[in-house]
Amino acid sequence: MQAKADGGAAPVICIDGPGGSGKGVLAAALAERLGWRYLDSGVLYRAVAVLALDARLGLDDEAALARLAEGMDAATEGGRLKLNGDDRTEDIRKEPVAESASTVARHPAVRKALLQQQRNARRAPGLVADGRDMGTVVFPDAELKIFLDASAEQRAKRRRKQLRSDGMRVSFGAVLASIRERDGRDSRRAASPLRPAESAVVIDSTAMTIAEVLERALALARRRRLGAGGAAHDINQP
């Protein structure tokens, strides 16, 4: 973890929420506007799932999955994922991988194995991290925590549009069923379940555009004096 000039850790904004809530788009846009780094923590769980499927590992074999997670070399650059040296960008976006990722993510040993990799992304000038437990477990001392939600129907609509633009044709009913199943698994698991952190600002994006959600998040960041001219750089701060 790289320290700021004043000795503290670099600032973090957490964006947690269920699949299809738009947190990935928001987090990436926010990071770009602030000039900060961006961590898509779901990629790590998807990467473990891809490797497990490659190796035909049982998704209940917690110890073997944790070893896989500990030993893997996952690097993202320019939106592409290099996993143990191979480009697996397209593979991790497939729906069966998302399903397997949420199964793999239930295991505490897998979550523990990925914890430090996520914390290592906290470097100056700041980090925007998206996932399910960024605010509750990975960065409990984050400067700003946002929990982005939307109705399951709206999220299924968005997910289907995204899958179609990636060339995958799926029915609305199938996407909605998969979203509901994943929501249930992510919220009911014992290890780091999906829930808003106590201090999180909850935003319901069902009837909001991406631009509106981004404006709201930027306003919250400004209020906390984060970003350019904010806490990380403002020498006039009390």
Applying CB under 6 A, the residues found at the interface with ligand C5P are: 19, 41-42, 45-46, 98, 101-102, 105, 131-133, 182, 186
Helices of type H across the chain: 23-34, 42-54, 62-71, 89-92, 95-104, 108-119, 152-165, 172-188, 210-223
Nearer to ligand C5P, 143 or 186 (CB): 186
Q: Which two tokens stand for residue 210?
A: 């991406």
Task: Check: CB of residue 125 under 8 Å from CB of residue 35.
Answer: yes
Minimum distance between the CB of residue 132 and ligand C5P, rounded to whole angstroms? 4
Smallest separation, CB 143 to ligand C5P (Å) = 18
Instruction: Name the residue with the smallest CB distance to ligand C5P.
Output: 42
Give 145 or 182: the residue with its C-beta nearer to ligand C5P: 182
Residue 131 Cβ vs ligand C5P, minimum distance, rounded to whole Å: 3
Smallest gap from residue 204 Cβ to ligand C5P (A): 18
CA distance 228 to 116: 27
- Report, in Å, the least distance between residue 211 CB and ligand C5P: 22
Q: Which is nearer to ligand C5P, 98 or 148 (CB)?
A: 98
Pairing of strands 80-83, 127-131: unpaired
165 versus 236: smaller Cβ distance to ligand C5P? 165
Question: For residue 235, which amino acid is it?
Answer: I
Q: Which CB, 18 or 227, lies closer to ligand C5P?
A: 18
Determine which helix (DSSP H) or strand (DSSP E) holds 39, and give its type and residue range: strand 37-40
